[in-house]
Chains A and B, each alone.
Chain A
Amino acid sequence: MSEFIIELKNVSRYFGSVIALQDINMQVKLGEVHCLLGDNGAGKSTLIKTLAGVHKPSEGEFLYEGKPMTLTSPRQALDLGIATVYQDLALVSLMSVTRNFFMGRELTKGWGPFKYFDTQTANKIAVAGLAEMGIEVRDPEQAIGTMSGGERQCLAIARAIHFGAKVLILDEPTAALGVKQSANVLKVVAKAKARGLAVILITHNVHHAYPVADRFTLLNRGQSLGTFLKADVTREEVLEMMAGGQELADLESELAEFQRADSADNDGGNHALDAGQAATNSMQKAANG
């Protein structure tokens, strides 16, 4: 068996004349969090859809546990243990925690036409599965709609883990979340890693990625800028390499320039100075995530 559970070798994907991905090389290891970074339009979505069996690579090789493989459907990927948690999470907000947890894969008991959904055992499993991820659910019959975005994300991850995922692909899990909820989700990611799963984390927020990731693959305009071990790069270097890094730095220096010009020009008054400072502050905040 190979050292890596998933390996991509020179994978390219074209949509007509558009090159969505070109010569991507990537290795995913069990027990590691592999972070996929890139700005909008860098090809992150195409790459994860290729891993999840939605798209077939136009060129190149996809190896699963060292064996070349062609995924024909998301179902096949799921059967292999590659589970993807998309941004819409595939949860129904009017349904209860348990009903969502087992949706499509209900736990049944009984025989023939009298087979029934064993809600009591299912409740216990759902509560235990969530507790393992650090989410306390008092009432598994409560509707998902009452849960916060972070809790829903964790539920979707716990569900994927319970149903035997070996590779967990998370698409922007912290995109719509606040600071505390993001931290909870990242904790769950760390727990999944501790259980020996391979996690592929897609994000464009370095500050969320850096604390949990072991490896980074950076994408820019459909091409890989390389894969780096965490030990080899600093947060700032990663940020720098992302398309946004350089531009944010440029913006910052431009704003500093603007501010200097303002303070030199005393006639400009305090009002303009304040505005410039406020803009700089908000930019710094944005850069810090």
Chain B
Amino acid sequence: MSTASIESTTNSRSDERIREVSKIKKLLNRPDFGAMSGVILVFIFFAFVAGDSGMFAADGILNWSTVSAQLGVLAVGACLLMIAGEFDLSMGSMIGFAGMVIAIPALYWDWPVWSSILLAFTTAMAIGWFIGYIVVRTGLPSFIVSLAFLFILRGLTIALSILFTNKTIVSGVDRVAENDWLAPFFGGEFGTGFFTWLASIGAISTYNDGSPLVSGIPMIIVWCVVLAVVASWVLFKTSFGNWIFAAGGDAKAAKNVGVPTDRVKIILFMFTAFCATLYASCQVLEFGSAAADRGLLKEFEAIIAVVIGGALLTGGYGSVLGALFGALIFGVVQMGIFFTGISSDWFRVFLGVMLLAAVLFNNFVRKRITQAS
């Protein structure tokens, strides 16, 4: 103590108590550093093990990036909500529910497909609002409230689809969606002209009739990128983003300086519902069918991706890019295992180990950034 006070009286301009921190240390303190190195490791691994299996040809890339993007859409929503300090376990059930809300009115009640898509988004976001409202008004853990909705929504989906259609798998949506103006935004493909051109110059492989093996980028990938860019911008560059961090970091402190934490949380519950519906819309319109059991366990996969991405389960810390990396690791490994010929049973083992490693690493990072070293 005495030496410190003597030092302070020298009144030096540069504070002797702050060490020069190297660029590498700064990189280490980024929330997405763990996931970033994970992505690199995973790619190196599969480049060696499955480099010549077609995993990195055009159709192989599209294969794992579609799976990653599907999870990525959910992870972006779950990420913002987790940074704000809450969970939404109803996301998976919401996927099944929203899928049915699109399919049943379109097929059985002769609604135009665009109107049933809009109905799905409004209904889902209204439910998201309700979940958020219960959480902020009662102060109950969102874990429990959204767990209740996991069952409520799944049950509703099965019961209502039996009630209206007498089955739990409804197909034929692609038939009615053919000339719809809104459906291609979810079920269509992006850049088809570009891929035809690539095939014509022989840059990618083609079928025997000359049409390209990969005809375009599925809309889910486009949505995932757009959503991630917007969410990342909002999180790091806007007032609302600062409120998200504040609400998750210390809600009481945030409230004391006038941050509307309740409103922030409700909006983010609506956003996760939006993400789940986006996932459902792309799935239903691309494959033309909806099933009541769609999206099973997706809420946990999204949370895993977010945690691998470096967000803290307790809130207040994380990044959208990290969540996206988490989803990418997930997709690459899940699909890569098929290409390598390793039994896919090992995927879950890998997933669990990844999750544990990520949580341990995040814990270490949190200690680094919050403790005066």
Q: A residues touching B (Cβ–Cβ < 8 Å)?
A: 75, 86, 88-95, 99, 102-106, 108, 115-117, 119, 136, 138-139, 143, 145-148, 178-180
Known: A91-B250, A95-B245, A139-B21. 8 other contacts (CB 8 A): A92-B246, A92-B253, A93-B370, A94-B249, A95-B249, A116-B233, A145-B370, A146-B373
Q: B residues touching A (Cβ–Cβ < 8 Å)?
A: 1, 4-5, 8, 13-15, 18, 21, 233, 237-239, 241-243, 245-246, 249-250, 252-254, 256-259, 312, 316-317, 366, 369-373
Question: In the bound complex, do residue B259 and residue A103 qualify as a contact, i.e. CB atoms below 8 Å apart?
Answer: yes
User: Shortest Cβ distance from A135 into chain B, in angstroms?
Assistant: 9
Question: In the bound complex, do residue A117 and residue B250 qualify as a contact, i.e. CB atoms below 8 Å apart?
Answer: no
Question: In the bound complex, do residue B249 and residue A117 qualify as a contact, i.e. CB atoms below 8 Å apart?
Answer: no
Chain B residues whose CB sits within 8 angstroms of the CB of A95 once the complex forms: 242, 245-246, 249, 316
Do A90 and B249 contact each other (CB < 8 Å), given the known contacts A117-B242, A138-B14, A146-B372? no
Question: In the bound complex, do residue B237 and residue A91 qualify as a contact, i.e. CB atoms below 8 Å apart?
Answer: no
Question: In the bound complex, do residue B257 and residue A148 qualify as a contact, i.e. CB atoms below 8 Å apart?
Answer: no
Closest to A138 in B: B18
Chain A residues whose CB sits within 8 angstroms of the CB of B312 once the complex forms: 94
Question: In the bound complex, do residue A92 and residue B249 qualify as a contact, i.e. CB atoms below 8 Å apart?
Answer: yes
Do A180 and B4 contact each other (CB < 8 Å), given the known contacts A104-B257, A116-B237? yes
- In the complex the two chains form, what is the Cα distance from A89 to B253 in whole Å? 8
- In the complex the two chains form, what is the Cα distance from A94 to B369 in whole Å? 8
Question: In the bound complex, do residue B373 and residue A88 qualify as a contact, i.e. CB atoms below 8 Å apart?
Answer: no
Question: In the bound complex, do residue B242 and residue A103 qualify as a contact, i.e. CB atoms below 8 Å apart?
Answer: yes
B239, B242, B249: most-surrounded residue (chain A CB, <10 A):
B242
Chain B residues whose CB sits within 8 angstroms of the CB of A89 once the complex forms: 253
Chain B residues whose CB sits within 8 angstroms of the CB of A90 once the complex forms: 252-254, 256-257
Chain B residues whose CB sits within 8 angstroms of the CB of A108 once the complex forms: 238-239
Chain B residues whose CB sits within 8 angstroms of the CB of A138 once the complex forms: 14-15, 18
Q: Which label, helix, strand, loop or mixed, suits the secondary structure of the A interface?
A: loop
Contact of A143 among B21, B242, B252, B370 (CB under 8 A): B370
Closest to A98 in B: B242
Question: In the bound complex, do residue A92 and residue B250 qualify as a contact, i.e. CB atoms below 8 Å apart?
Answer: yes
Question: In the bound complex, do residue A136 and residue B15 qualify as a contact, i.e. CB atoms below 8 Å apart?
Answer: yes
What are 16 A-B pairs at a CB distance below 8 A? Answer: A88-B252, A88-B253, A89-B253, A90-B252, A91-B253, A94-B312, A94-B317, A94-B369, A103-B242, A103-B259, A104-B243, A106-B239, A117-B238, A138-B14, A145-B371, A146-B372
User: Shortest Cβ distance from B340 into chain A, in angstroms?
Assistant: 39
B13, B243, B366, B369: most-surrounded residue (chain A CB, <10 A):
B369
- In the complex the two chains form, what is the Cα distance from A57 to B169 in whole Å? 66
Question: In the bound complex, do residue B250 and residue A93 qualify as a contact, i.e. CB atoms below 8 Å apart?
Answer: yes
Closest to B252 in A: A88
User: Shortest Cβ distance from A199 into chain B, in angstroms?
Assistant: 20
Question: In the bound complex, do residue A104 and residue B14 qualify as a contact, i.e. CB atoms below 8 Å apart?
Answer: no
Do A148 and B372 contact each other (CB < 8 Å), given the known contacts A92-B249, A92-B316, A180-B8? yes
Contact of A117 among B14, B237, B317, B373 (CB under 8 A): B237
Chain A residues whose CB sits within 8 angstroms of the CB of B237 once the complex forms: 116-117, 119
- In the complex the two chains form, what is the Cα distance from A209 to B13 in whole Å? 29
Leading 8 A-B pairs by shortest Cβ distance: A145-B370, A92-B249, A106-B239, A104-B257, A90-B256, A104-B258, A94-B316, A90-B253
Do A105 and B258 contact each other (CB < 8 Å), given the known contacts A92-B316, A145-B371? yes
- In the complex the two chains form, what is the Cα distance from A105 to B243 in whole Å? 10
Question: In the bound complex, do residue A136 and residue B238 qualify as a contact, i.e. CB atoms below 8 Å apart?
Answer: no
- In the complex the two chains form, what is the Cα distance from A108 to B242 in whole Å? 12
Chain B residues whose CB sits within 8 angstroms of the CB of A179 once the complex forms: 1, 5
Chain B residues whose CB sits within 8 angstroms of the CB of A105 once the complex forms: 257-258
Do A147 and B245 contact each other (CB < 8 Å), given the known contacts A88-B253, A92-B254, A117-B237? no
Question: In the bound complex, do residue B241 and residue A117 qualify as a contact, i.e. CB atoms below 8 Å apart?
Answer: yes
Closest to A178 in B: B1
- In the complex the two chains form, what is the Cα distance from A146 to B243 in whole Å? 21
- In the complex the two chains form, what is the Cα distance from A94 to B1 in whole Å? 27
User: Shortest Cβ distance from A170 into chain B, in angstroms?
Assistant: 15
Chain B residues whose CB sits within 8 angstroms of the CB of A104 once the complex forms: 243, 246, 254, 257-259
Question: In the bound complex, do residue A93 and residue B249 qualify as a contact, i.e. CB atoms below 8 Å apart?
Answer: yes
Closest to A141 in B: B26
Chain B residues whose CB sits within 8 angstroms of the CB of A75 once the complex forms: 258
Do A103 and B254 contact each other (CB < 8 Å), given the known contacts A95-B246, A180-B4? yes
- In the complex the two chains form, what is the Cα distance from A133 to B316 in whole Å? 28
- In the complex the two chains form, what is the Cα distance from A103 to B256 in whole Å? 10
Chain B residues whose CB sits within 8 angstroms of the CB of A147 once the complex forms: 372
Chain B residues whose CB sits within 8 angstroms of the CB of A94 once the complex forms: 245, 249, 312, 316-317, 366, 369-370
- In the complex the two chains form, what is the Cα distance from A146 to B249 in whole Å? 15
Do A102 and B253 contact each other (CB < 8 Å), given the known contacts A146-B369, A178-B1? no
Question: In the bound complex, do residue A143 and residue B369 qualify as a contact, i.e. CB atoms below 8 Å apart?
Answer: yes
Closest to A149 in B: B372
Closest to B245 in A: A95
